[in-house]
Each structure stands twice: as C-alpha cells, then as structure tokens.
Amino acid sequence: MFPSIPELLPEGELGLAKVRHMEVSQQGSEWSMIRAMVNGHGDSFVPPGKYAQLVVDGMLMMSDTDMERRSNREVVWQARGHVFIAGLGIGMILHPILENPKVTKVTVVEKYADVIKLVGPTLPHQEKLTFVEADVLDWKPAKGTKYDVIYHDIWPTISTDNLKEMALLHRRFGQFKAPGGWMDSWKRDYLKYRKRQEDAQRGRWRY
C-alpha cells in the first residue's frame, strides 16, 4: 500500500523542517521488541530497515515505521472524490491516495511552509493537489465546500490530551463532510479507549 518513503523523499533541511533517514539494524530492532514487551506497547516494535523522519523545530513529527503505516491505512482505503488532509508530514499517505483513480482532488492544510516546500514537490499527481499554509485549528474551508473524506493527522505524539483538539476538529469539519462522507483523526479510537482506561484507573484510586 505505502511506498518506501526514503526512496522518494531525499534527506534535506529547509528552515524549521528537516528530513532525515534512519537505518534500524537487526540488533536495534531486537531492542525495540524488548522495549515493546516491557512497556506493553507492541506498536513500538520497529523491524530492521531504512525509514524517513520529519523533524520540525527540533521535534520529531512523523516517520514511516510499521506503526505509522498500520495506523494510517484506513484513510487510504476510504479515499475517494475530494479528500481533505490536515497535516502533510512526510507525505506517506498521500502517495497511494493521489495514485487512486477514484480520488479527484486532494486539499492539504499544513502549518509550516518549510514542510510544504520540502515534502510537497516529491508527491505524485500534482494536478490533483492543493496546499493551504495554515493552522487547521484556526482555519475553515470556504462556505459550501464539501469533502468526501476528511482526515486529521497533526499530532506528533500519541496522547489522550489530543482528544480535545480532535473533538474540536470533528465538530468544525462535520458541516463540510459530504453526504455519505467519512471523517477520522489519527489513532482517535485507540485514544478514546485509552482515555476510558485512564478514567477507570483514576476512579479506583479515589476509594
């Protein structure tokens, strides 16, 4: 489904944005498996191989590890018509989405101009692609705009704190979803599950 991003996105740096390649050895992969078992987070296991990473202002925003690929498959399966994506990242999901003949247009809102300039030119089918430089938490589409697929992926970490922003975006963009359309945010269902666990744990500590 997803191409090898390091083969398509060269290393480079522009302003706040930096793309770097990371090689995970067999030994490093085995250590990641041990950490995953100890921490109880199976998603943190990284198979051996070469990966691309996006760093913005010193913060790791995204990579193309197996976890990122698995957790972003649904939007690629759903893609059709006019697709809206919040957060460009390394463009991983955009390669298969833009190659999909059922997709006619893709609008990407990205906060950082440096990321657009660094990653944007490496994407296929530029004729389908429109970039908007803006913070999606403040930006709204033009009145009457409708998207068939809406996906928000702006968070560098997996935290239940992200749920508040997700709820805000889902409320705001609900009016821009076409009839029969689809909308989601990165790992939203998992975070809602984890939030229920956290709330239950806090409840037990009250007694």
- Single out the residue in 43, 68, 93 at which a domain terminates: 68
User: 78 and 60 in one domain?
Assistant: no
User: 91 and 48 in one domain?
Assistant: no
Let me know if residue 140 belongs to a domain: yes
Let me know if residue 197 belongs to a domain: no
Determine the structural domain holding residue 181 and report its residue range: 73-190
User: 87 and 177 in one domain?
Assistant: yes
DSSP 94-128: HHHHHH-TTEEEEEEEES-HHHHHHHGGGSS-GGG
User: 53 and 112 in one domain?
Assistant: no
105-132: per-residue pLDDT in tens?
999 999 999 999 999 999 999 999 999 9
User: 30 and 108 in one domain?
Assistant: no
Let me know if residue 32 belongs to a domain: yes
Q: Provide mean pLDDT across the span 181-193.
A: 97
Whole-number pLDDT of residue 1: 86
Give phi and psi for 80, each to the nearest 5.
-170, 160
